[in-house]
Each structure stands twice: as structure tokens, then as C-alpha cells.
């Protein structure tokens, strides 16, 4: 073994070390530098990720109320029983799932189609132009996106209803669609906004995947007489599967846990479709009564566990087959 590599601490220990214990101490000493560099990240990881998770788990087993000066009491599974026996828990979980079902196909299929089309553009300048156009929504700050779409969807003065009522005359002022604010159209409307917002961002993922596919593969298939659909289905799609899996898992998590959009578009009205488990959790933890954060934490844990179960299923469904 090259001594210079071994001395950095990354290589295997020299074979002539006499005792096992001495070897371990030496290894620790040799790795000390690495641990020193890792320390800030480890500290951050434990301080900002591990500790809060365990803290929330602990709170979920107590009757902790933020506004109360009484010390928190350990109440075992009472909060979980309370939450699970509340129909609002189930309806709010279902609402989040419904939004995810609406959103997820749009955030995978549309960007994939767009990426395939953009990838076929041969002129470099035109290809760059399309990429920039695609990325514009992704760089707009969230607040602006919400303001823009709130105006677009406005029942009385929004351009969509203006088109439907005043221009096309399909509806009148009494029958025009109510896009936001608690109607059954609210979640589909928000899903459309989210798909538009993430279109370019998700397409870039697929474009990166497409760039990694050797060009001779589809060309050889075409020479052998494969149709464009067959090329896509048998060559492109399987090679984009890992990217698809990453996107599905990431976006499933973010769709189930949406809170900002729901707070902005729906508020705390418990009958609205935007009152999902995230709002329910926030409502109990920061709005209602003495702020029952024990219950809020339990609602959060239930939501997180439900999400994890689905993520495991998704990982299995989208696992690489070859």
C-alpha cells in the first residue's frame, strides 16, 4: 500500500500493527481530522434534525399546552387516541392525500413530456431559450406566485372568470366557477398552480437524465425499425426511472405536507378542503385554546407515519427493475 495514502487516514491500517486495541486507537487518532471536519455538520444534524424529532415525539406523549404555566404531564397515548378518534384527523389526512393524487401525476408526466420535446430541439440557442422559459416560474418567489394565482382565480375580477363569463359567455355572474376559498374546486385549482410552478424545475431533472442516455441507443433502435413511442417506452423511460422515483418521493412528501398555500388560500375554516392535517396540527398547536401542542405533536406524528408508509410503498413500486 502506498504509505502516503495510509497516512491520510483514509486507507487501511498498516498490516504490522501488533494488537487489535492499539490498532483501534490509532485508527481513531488517524480519523480525528476527519471527525473534526465532520463535527459542524454532525452538530447541525443532531441539533436541527434529530433533537427536534425526538422533542416532538416526547411532547406528543404529554399534555403540554404552550400558553399554560403548568408543567407538562406524561399522558402516554391519550393525544394519539384523541386525534385518531376525531373525524377531522381522518378527513384532513384524506384532503392532503386527495391533493397529492391530483398534483403528483401532473408534476411527473407533464415535465417529462416537456423535457422529451425540449431534448429533441437540435438548435443550441433555441434549446437554451426553451430551458430559460421553462425555468421562469421556478424562480418567481412563492409570495408572488400566490398573489398572481389568487388574482387569476378571483371569482369576480379574475381573468379566468372574465374569459368564461364576459368573453365566452359560458357562465353568468351567478353561475361562474368559484375556484378558491373552500369550494370543491379549491384543491384542483391549487394543484394546477403547483404543477405550473414546478414545471420547469421538474423538467430540468428529466433533461439531466435524458442527457445521460447514450445517443446511439435510440438511434440504433430507430435503425432497427422501432417507432418513436417504442423508443420512448423501452429505452428512455426505463433510464429515467431513478429520476422519476426521486421526484415522486420528494414531491409526495412536499404535497402531503403543504401548509403555506392552504393557510393563504383557505385559512382555518374546518370545512374547507384546504383544512388538511398540517393546518389541523397548526390550529391545535398555535391557535386554539391554550395551544395544545401535545395534541398538535401527535397529529404531526400521525401524519408523518402515514406519509412514511406511503413512501415505502412508492420506493417499492418505483425501484429499478434491472
Partner 1 sequence: MAKRREQEHLLQQASRQQLLGGRIDRREFLTRSLVAGLGMAGIGTVAKSSLTPALAADRPLTPTFYQWIEDLHPSIPKVNAKFPGLNYQIAPVEGFGIERFVAESKKGESTWDVYAGQTPFVEMSAMIKAGVIEPWDNYIPKEVIDDIIPSIRAECTVDGKLYSWPFLLDVITMGSHSGITKKAGVADIPATWDDFLANAKKIQESKAAPFGATFDAHGWRSVAPMAHSLNSNVYTSEGLFDFTSDQAIAALELMKKIMAVSHPDILLEGASDGGVNGTPDEVAFAAERVGYQVKYQNAPLRMAHNWKDPNQLRLGPMPKFANGEGSTVFWTTGCALFKHGKNKEKAAEYIKALTYDRQIWKDSIAGTETGHPGQMPPYKSVYAEWAANKPDWMPEFVGLVRTQLDKARAINNHLFGLQQFVIGKPIWETFLKGEEPNPKVAMQKVVDAVHAEMKRAG
- DSSP-assigned states of every residue in 233-247: IIIIHHHHHHHHHHH
- DSSP-assigned states of every residue in 244-257: HHHHHHHHHHHHHT
d(CA 100, CA 108): 12
CA angle 144, 147, 153 (to 5 degrees): 135
The smaller minimum CB distance to partner 1, of residues 70 and 316, is found at 70
CB of 83 to partner 1, least distance (A): 10
CB of 41 to partner 1, least distance (A): 17
The smaller minimum CB distance to partner 1, of residues 200 and 266, is found at 266
Q: Is 224 helix (H, G, I), strand (E, B) or coil?
A: coil
The smaller minimum CB distance to partner 1, of residues 106 and 273, is found at 273
CB of 70 to partner 1, least distance (A): 9
Is residue 302 exposed (0-12), middle (13-18) or buried (19+ Cβ within 10 Å)? buried
d(CA 193, CA 163): 18
Q: Is 194 helix (H, G, I), strand (E, B) or coil?
A: helix
CB of 43 to partner 1, least distance (A): 12
Cell numbers found for residue 278: 398540517
CB of 186 to partner 1, least distance (A): 9
The smaller minimum CB distance to partner 1, of residues 73 and 120, is found at 73
The smaller minimum CB distance to partner 1, of residues 47 and 214, is found at 47
The smaller minimum CB distance to partner 1, of residues 139 and 168, is found at 168
d(CA 159, CA 168): 12
CB of 170 to partner 1, least distance (A): 16
Is residue 122 exposed (0-12), middle (13-18) or buried (19+ Cβ within 10 Å)? exposed
User: Which residues in this chain contact partner 1 in the complex, by CB under 8 A?
Assistant: 63, 65-69, 82, 150, 154-157, 173-176, 178, 180-183, 263-272, 286-292, 295
**Residue 280 per-residue DSSP state:** H
Amino acid at each position: 500500500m502506498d504509505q502516503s495514502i495510509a497516512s491520510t487516514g483514509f486507507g487501511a491500517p498498516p498490516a504490522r500493527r501488533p494488537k487489535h486495541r492499539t490498532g483501534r486507537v490509532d485508527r481513531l487518532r488517524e480519523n480525528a481530522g476527519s471527525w473534526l471536519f465532520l463535527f459542524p455538520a454532525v452538530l447541525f444534524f443532531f441539533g436541527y434534525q434529530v433533537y427536534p424529532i425526538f422533542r416532538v415525539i416526547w411532547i406528543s406523549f404529554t399534555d403540554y399546552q404552550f400558553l399554560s404555566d403548568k408543567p407538562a404531564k406524561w399522558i402516554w397515548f391519550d393525544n394519539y387516541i384523541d386525534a385518531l378518534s376525531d373525524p377531522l384527523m381522518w378527513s384532513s389526512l384524506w384532503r392532503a392525500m386527495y391533493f397529492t393524487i391530483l398534483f403528483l401525476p401532473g408534476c411527473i408526466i407533464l415535465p417529462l413530456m416537456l423535457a422529451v420535446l425540449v431534448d429533441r430541439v437540435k438548435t443550441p440557442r433555441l434549446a437554451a431559450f426553451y430551458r430559460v422559459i421553462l425555468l421562469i416560474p421556478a424562480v418567481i418567489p412563492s409570495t408572488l406566485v400566490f398573489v398572481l394565482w389568487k388574482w387569476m382565480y378571483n371569482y369576480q375580477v379574475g381573468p379566468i372568470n372574465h374569459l368564461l363569463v364576459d368573453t365566452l359567455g359560458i357562465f353568468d355572474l351567478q353561475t361562474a366557477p368559484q375556484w378558491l376559498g373552500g369550494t370543491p374546486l379549491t384543491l384542483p385549482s391549487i394543484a394546477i398552480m403547483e404543477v405550473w410552478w414546478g414545471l420547469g424545475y421538474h423538467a430540468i431533472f428529466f433533461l439531466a437524465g435524458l442527457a445521460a442516455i447514450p445517443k446511439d441507443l435510440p438511434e440504433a433502435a430507430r435503425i432497427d425499425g422501432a417507432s418513436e413511442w417504442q423508443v420512448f417506452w423501452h429505452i428512455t423511460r426505463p433510464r429515467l426511472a431513478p429520476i422519476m422515483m426521486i421526484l415522486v418521493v420528494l414531491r409526495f412528501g412536499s404535497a402531503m405536507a403543504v401548509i403555506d398555500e392552504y393557510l393563504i388560500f383557505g385559512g382555518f375554516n374546518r370545512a374547507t378542503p384546504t383544512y388538511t392535517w398540517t393546518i389541523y396540527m397548526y390550529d391545535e398547536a398555535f391557535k386554539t385554546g391554550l395551544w395544545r401542542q401535545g395534541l398538535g405533536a401527535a397529529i404531526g406524528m400521525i401524519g408523518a407515519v402515514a406519509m412514511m408508509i406511503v413512501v415505502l410503498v412508492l420506493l417499492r413500486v418505483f425501484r429499478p427493475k434491472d
